[in-house]
Chain A
Amino acid sequence: MSKTLVVANRELRAYFATPVATVFIVIFLVLQGALTFNLGQFFDRAQADLNPFFTFIPWVFLLLIPAITMRLWAEERRLGTIELLLTLPITQGQAVLGKFLAAWGFCAIALALTFPFVIAVNILGSPDNGVIASGYVGCLLIAGAFLSVGAAMSAVTRNQVIAFVLAVAICFVFAVASNPIVNDFLAKNVPALGEFTRRIAVIDRFTDFTRGIIALRDLIYFATFIGFFLFLNTVLVDQRKAD
Chain B
Amino acid sequence: MATRVEDASDQTVLIEIQGLTKRFGAFTAVDNVSFQVRRGEVLGFLGPNGAGKSTTMRMLAGFMIPTAGTARILGHDVQTDSVAARGVLGFLPEGAPTYPEMSVEGFLRFCARVRGFSGSELADRVDHALGLTTLRGVRLQPVETLSKGFKRRVGLAQALLHDPPVLVLDEPTDGLDPNQKHEVRGLIERMAPEKAIVISTHILEEVDAVCSRAIVIANGRIVADATPAELEQRHPSGKLEEVFRALTMEGMA
Contacts and interface: CB of A to CB of B under 8 A. Distances in A.
Interface stretch (B1-9, B92-100, B185-193): B92-100
Nearest to B58: A242
Nearest to B142: A17
Interface stretch (B45-53, B81-89, B207-215): B81-89
Most buried by B among A6, A238, A241: A6
B83 A91 contact: yes
Interface stretch (B11-19, B109-117, B195-203, B230-238): B109-117
Contact of A81 (B62, B65, B97, B114): B97
Interface stretch (A43-51, A82-90, A104-112, A145-153): A82-90
B64 A17 contact: no
B244 interface: no
A89 B97 contact: no
Interface in A135-188: none
B158 interface: yes
Contacts of A238: 65
Residues of B contacting A: mostly: loop
Interface in B99-142: 99-102, 110-111, 113-116, 118
Contacts of B65: 238, 242
B91 interface: yes
B35 interface: no
B160 interface: no
Contacts, number: 68
Interface residues of A, number: 22
Contacts of A84: 91, 93, 97-98, 155, 158
Given A1-B118, A87-B62, A91-B83, A10 B110 contact: yes
B99 A83 contact: no
Contact of B114 (A17, A18, A79, A89): A89
Interface string B10-39: 000000000000000000000000000000
A7 B98 contact: no
A87 B114 contact: no
Most buried by B among A84, A86, A242: A84
A45 B154 CA distance: 59
Interface of A: 1, 3, 6-7, 10, 14, 17-18, 79-81, 83-84, 86-91, 238, 241-242
Given A6-B114, A87-B89, A89-B84, 7 more contacts: A6-B110, A6-B113, A17-B102, A84-B98, A88-B86, A90-B83, A242-B58
11 contacts: A1-B113, A6-B110, A6-B113, A10-B110, A17-B101, A17-B102, A80-B97, A84-B158, A87-B89, A91-B83, A238-B65
